[in-house]
């Protein structure tokens, strides 16, 4: 767009103060970001909360059964260790050991461990379990004093087939087998003393459930039961906070953009290249009107005959005004092919508008090839000046002065003038010249006779 550079200048000139303030704000904002990113060390205090294990304890059962009857798959006297199921016929007695130990930084605990067999019938189908009957039998009891990492062991031995027969006897006595029979070996550990300088007085219970079937019994060992004590450790530390990319890169870019803008605006203002003249503003208004009213304008060749026959010519001050007249008179606006003249022909009246031209040499933001847009009109004006100096006259010399001026201007821009047309007819010009020469010769003869 040829007037792009001029429009930039016009906007910059009109809002010069606004652009200067915006550039200053960019410089200040960029300086603040640069200082925040590079001019100081950003630190923050972070609070950390960690959980630390200060003691642990473990209770675990081990169990085995010895084969008492020689079979094809198991030999008599063979020990079956930690199996999930044992055969009642060949290994009816379950032997086992309960082990308890703990770890801590310091401590001394008295551990009283007792083992007992509990058999009971419970109805678990109801919302709250209902116990029908229960028997308990003490198996063993041991009391020891334990330091950290020391263990206490308590052994047991129970004939499971004998327990099964006892259950059958109780059910026969009661006359019912209601409920679910549960057989469990319980280990109860009562602890007293200190651990990590903290007073301890507690009781823990561990269980080894047995499921007795007709031919075998299952040991439902869930493995070691672990417990631990924890304490919360709160700490704080100072960490360096790295500035984000907006601070590290946006700050310098904002400062650079602001400084470049200020230098450019100052240079343009004080070198005289930024201010826009009234002629240039008129040209911008014309170009805006040309785009806005394009649908009302038609390009055409210069209608020389209509202009010659016109009795009145009226010049408008803007293209928009000419378009208003075209709308009022219900005519089209004719753009002469030179792109600088616009006409509205309404009977014997010619409304016209001469578009202002823009010299690219006067606009530092315009490309150099834009000069070509004004060369044709400048050539036409020079030709007109030469004709006037040579004394040339047009056939319309006797016409009205205003109409003649309008006609000459439009006529010569379109290169359709009657002078050019007659100049192409060499016969007419030579005839006038011969008559002039003849008159001159006759005058010379009369002078000689006298």
Predicted confidence (pLDDT) per residue in 266-276, tens digit: 887 788 777 77
Q: Which residues lie closer than 8 Å to 417 by C-beta, 6 or more apart?
A: 304, 394, 408, 411
- Which pLDDT score is estimated for 408? 57
Tell me whether residue 105 is exposed, middle or buried, using C-beta atoms within 10 angstroms of its C-beta: 0 to 12, 13 to 18, 19 or more: exposed
CA geometry: angle at 357 spanning 353 and 361, to 5°?
A: 175
What does each C-alpha distance from 357 to 283, 350, 378, 398 come to in angstroms?
Answer: 7, 22, 10, 31
**pLDDT lower than 70: segments of the chain:** 1-4, 337-339, 359-450
What mean pLDDT is reported for the chain?
78
- Which pLDDT score is estimated for 369? 45
- Which pLDDT score is estimated for 272? 76
- pLDDT tens for 215-260 read 999 999 988 999 998 888 888 878 877 777 888 888 889 889 889 9
Q: Which residues lie closer than 8 Å to 237 by C-beta, 6 or more apart?
A: 45, 46, 48
Supply the angle between the helices 401-414 and 372-389 in degrees, to the nearest 10: 130
């Amino acid at each position: 767009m040829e007037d792009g550079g001029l429009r930039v200048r016009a906007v910059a000139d009109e809002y010069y103060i606004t652009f200067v303030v915006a550039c200053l704000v960019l410089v200040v904002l960029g300086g603040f970001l640069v200082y925040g990113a590079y001019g100081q060390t950003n630190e923050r205090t972070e609070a950390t909360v960690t959980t630390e294990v200060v003691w642990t304890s473990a209770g675990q059962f081990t169990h085995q059964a010895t084969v008492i009857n020689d079979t094809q798959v198991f030999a008599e006297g063979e020990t079956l260790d930690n199996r999930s199921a044992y055969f009642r016929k060949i290994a009816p007695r379950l032997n086992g050991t309960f082990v308890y130990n703990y770890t801590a930084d310091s401590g001394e605990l008295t551990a009283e461990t007792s083992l007992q067999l509990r058999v009971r019938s419970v109805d678990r189908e109801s919302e709250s379990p209902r116990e029908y009957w229960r028997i308990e039998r003490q198996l063993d009891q041991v009391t020891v004093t334990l330091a950290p990492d020391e263990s206490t062991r308590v052994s047991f031995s129970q004939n499971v087939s004998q327990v099964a027969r006892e259950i059958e006897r109780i059910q026969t006595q009661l006359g019912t087998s209601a409920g679910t029979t549960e057989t469990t070996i319980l280990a109860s550990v009562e602890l007293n003393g200190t651990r990590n300088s903290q007073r301890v007085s507690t009781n823990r219970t561990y269980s080894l459930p047995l499921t007795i079937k007709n031919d075998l019994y299952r040991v439902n060992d869930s493995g070691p039961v672990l417990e631990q004590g924890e304490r919360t450790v709160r700490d704080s530390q100072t960490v360096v906070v790295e500035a984000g990319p907006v601070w590290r890169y946006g700050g310098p870019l904002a400062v650079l953009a602001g400084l470049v803008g200020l230098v450019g605006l100052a240079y343009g203002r004080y070198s005289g290249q930024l201010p826009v003249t009234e002629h240039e503003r008129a040209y911008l208004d014309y170009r805006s009107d040309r785009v806005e009213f394009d649908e009302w304008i038609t390009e055409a060749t210069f209608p020389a005959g209509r202009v010659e026959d016109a009795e009145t010519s009226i010049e408008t001050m803007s293209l928009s005004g000419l378009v208003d007249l075209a709308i009022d008179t219900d005519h089209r606006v004719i753009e002469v092919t030179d792109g600088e003249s616009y006409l509205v022909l309404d009977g014997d009246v010619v409304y016209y508008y001469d578009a202002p031209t823009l010299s690219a040499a006067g606009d530092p933001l315009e490309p150099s090839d834009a000069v070509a847009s004004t060369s044709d009109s400048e050539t036409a004006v020079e030709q007109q000046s030469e004709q006037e100096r040579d004394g040339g006259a047009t056939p319309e010399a006797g016409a009205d002065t205003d109409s003649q001026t309008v006609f000459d201007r439009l006529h010569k821009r379109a290169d359709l003038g009657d002078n050019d047309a007659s100049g192409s007819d060499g016969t007419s010009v030579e005839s006038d010249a011969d008559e002039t020469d003849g008159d001159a010769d006759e005058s010379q003869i009369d002078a000689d006779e006298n």
